[in-house]
Structure 1
Amino acid sequence: MALESFIQLWTHRYKKYTHIFTAHALGYKARLYFKNVKSRLAKNQKLIAIVRTEHFGDIIAAEPISRYVRSLYPDAHIVWFTKPAYQCLVECNPAINEVFTEFCVTQRDVLFKGNVFDEIFELQFRNNNHCPTCNVFIENPVAERRNINIFNYFDYGNLLEVFAQTGDLIPPKTAFPGDDQPRLYLQDAQRHKVDSLNLPERFVVLHCRSNYAPKDWPSERWEQLVAWLAETYDYEIVEVGQESCLNVSTQSFRNLCGKLTILETAEVIRRASLFIGLDSGPSHLGNATGTFGIILMGSLNNFPDYNPYSGGYGRQENAVFVRQLGVPCRELTFEFVQDKVEQVMSKLEIA
């Protein structure tokens, strides 16, 4: 074995085993911490865990579960488990007492094996319970028993209904029994940041790239849409997201990609006259903030026709789904999308 390969091998092993050791140590530390939390609770007060660690659109979709669990256990100490990047989505939720930002699933596994929590509502299944460094998958027994997995989950309803079923909160394939409108809890920090952007009174927000290519619409058609909107309507066009995929020169277009936090993006969407985007995290921000949405959707893997949303978007009271049965999003023509957008814009103009 060449020296360079030898060094790479042992560097990899060092990082892996350091990670595993850290995960176990943090798991035992968290076990002690929550034992202390539980010792300070009243005699009949339950310690409850809600686990939804990713992605940010999924966490927003699952938000009504926090309020539903609170209604079931009004005196409980409720802890939401999430990845650190998404702590902001739940830390100001009044239905939650505490947010636990996990290091990895191994840490959580070690913690839960201590049997500290009285109830654990697992809102995810195998593919969300994986640490690639530890090479560990954590199963959700409820999801296994109900045969809910990455290949069939939309057969069980929208995301909120699926998560409630994997958490054993509702019977299989039933509607969510509580208020199903997702909410966000925006703070002054986000409002002040967006105030500083000096956005116009009338603007349309676009989100043009998801984290999963089969959900996307080609960039050149987005560019056509921007050009047509700029030429036809007196609205500024604001793009949000992690990274822009557009090459646009019109003066009425503004690129805010990569410049905002998740909640700052939510505040921008909240102030917009209209949101146009994909089945992705920002569309869940639109649903939660109440901005009317035009959502470009297509067939997805095993799901020729699906609806990820609850609330106003899910019932299409506050959104229009732009799709054709069995047609992937990338195959939607510009003319088809343009017609749907024009119908909504004409109503905005009248209003």
Structure 2
Amino acid sequence: MTLERFIQLWTHRYHKYSHIFKARLLGYQARLHFAAVKRSLKKEQKLIAIIRTEHFGDIIAAEPISRHVRSRHPDAYIVWFVKPVFHELVDFNPAVNEVFQEFCVTQREVLLQGNVFDEVFQLQFRNNNHCDKCQVFIENPVAQQRQIDIFTYFNFGNLLEVFAKTAGLIAERATFPGDDQPQVYLQDSHRQKVDSLDLPQRFIVLHCRSNYAPKDWPADRWEQLITWLSEKYNYQIVEVGSASNLNVKTKSYRNLCGQLSILETAEVIRRANYFIGLDSGPSHLGNATGTYGIILMGSLNNFPDYNPYSGGYGRQENAVFVRRKGSPCAELSFDFVKEKVEAALGTSERKV
């Protein structure tokens, strides 16, 4: 073994075991914290954990579960487990008493081994119960028993129904029993931030790049679509997301990628006349804020025809899906998408 390789190996081991030590320490600290919370509750009050740590579209899709659990346990102290980067999606939820910002799954494993919670609803399965640094998986016995995993989950309904089933909240073939319209809880700070952007009165918001390449539509076709929209319609075009891969010159286009928090992005989408985007987190914001959605979708891995949404988008009361069954999103032609967008926008919106 070379000296360089030796240093690399022990540097990796140092970071790995330091991470594990910190995770376990934080787990024991969290166990003490929630034991104290439980002692402060009345005898009949339950301490309940809801675990949906990622991704932000999934957390939005799962939001109705918080209200459903609250309706079943009106006096409970409900804790939502989430990764720190997504905590704002849960911070202002009135159905949740506390947001637990999870360091990693090892911390959660140590915490839950203390049996401090009266009920634990896991809204995820093995594939998103993993820490790369610890090399640790946490199994969900309900999901295992129902054979819900990354290869099968959309066979069990939309995301809300899948999560409710992995938690054991509803039967394996049931539909969600409560209000299935997801919500986000926008605050004055989010509105004030968007006020400062001086957005136009009439605009279409676009989200053109997901965090999973098989869901994407090629950048050059997005550029074509933006040019066509700016020429044909009385709308400005505003792009949102973490980063843009477009090269757009038209004055009708504005790039806000990477400039906003998740809930600030939600407020931009709420103010838009239309949302045009992919099956990704911002489309769930569109569903939650009530903005009409035009969603570019394709087949996804083992699912040639799937619907991730509940509520207005899921029933296509407030959205249209642009798709060809069995074809990936990348194979949708510009003309096919243009035709669907044109039908959704209508002739009354065109420039004179």
* TM-score normalised to structure 2 length: 0.98
Partner of residue 238, structure 2: 238
2:49 matches 1:17: no
2:74 maps to amino acid: P
CA apart distance, 1:347: 6.3
CA apart distance, 1:2: 2.2
Partner of residue 48, structure 1: 48
2:108 maps to amino acid: R
Partners of 2:51 and 2:124 within 8 A in 1: yes
CA apart distance, 1:349: 2.4
The 5 A counterparts of 1:308-323 are 308-323=308-323
Task: State the percentage of identical aligned residues.
Answer: 73
* TM-score normalised to structure 1 length: 0.99
In structure 2, runs of 5+ residues without a counterpart are none
- CA 1:145 to 1:247, structure 2 compared with 1: closer, same or farther past 3 Å? same
Partner of residue 277, structure 1: 277
The 5 A counterparts of 1:120-135 are 120-135=120-135
SS for the counterpart of 2:91 is: coil
Where does structure 1 differ by over 4 angstroms across 4 or more consecutive aligned residues?
none
CA apart distance, 1:8: 1.4
The 5 A counterparts of 1:56-205 are 56-205=56-205
1:76 maps to amino acid: A
1:17 maps to amino acid: Y
- Give the distance between the partners of 1:139 and 1:81, measured in 2 at CA: 16
- CA 1:161 to 1:150, structure 2 compared with 1: closer, same or farther past 3 Å? same
- Give the distance between the partners of 2:10 and 2:219, measured in 1 at CA: 43
1:338 maps to amino acid: K
Partner of residue 254, structure 1: 254
Partner of residue 336, structure 2: 336
CA apart distance, 1:3: 2.1
In structure 1, runs of 5+ residues without a counterpart are none
CA apart distance, 1:247: 0.6
SS for the counterpart of 2:60 is: helix
- Give the distance between the partners of 2:334 and 2:193, measured in 1 at CA: 34
- Give the distance between the partners of 1:345 and 1:181, measured in 2 at CA: 24
**CA RMSD for the aligned pairs?**
0.9
Partner of residue 218, structure 1: 218
Partner of residue 34, structure 1: 34
SS for the counterpart of 1:90 is: helix
- Give the distance between the partners of 1:186 and 1:168, measured in 2 at CA: 30
Partners of 2:160 and 2:309 within 8 A in 1: yes
Partners of 2:234 and 2:349 within 8 A in 1: no
- Give the distance between the partners of 1:74 and 1:312, measured in 2 at CA: 26
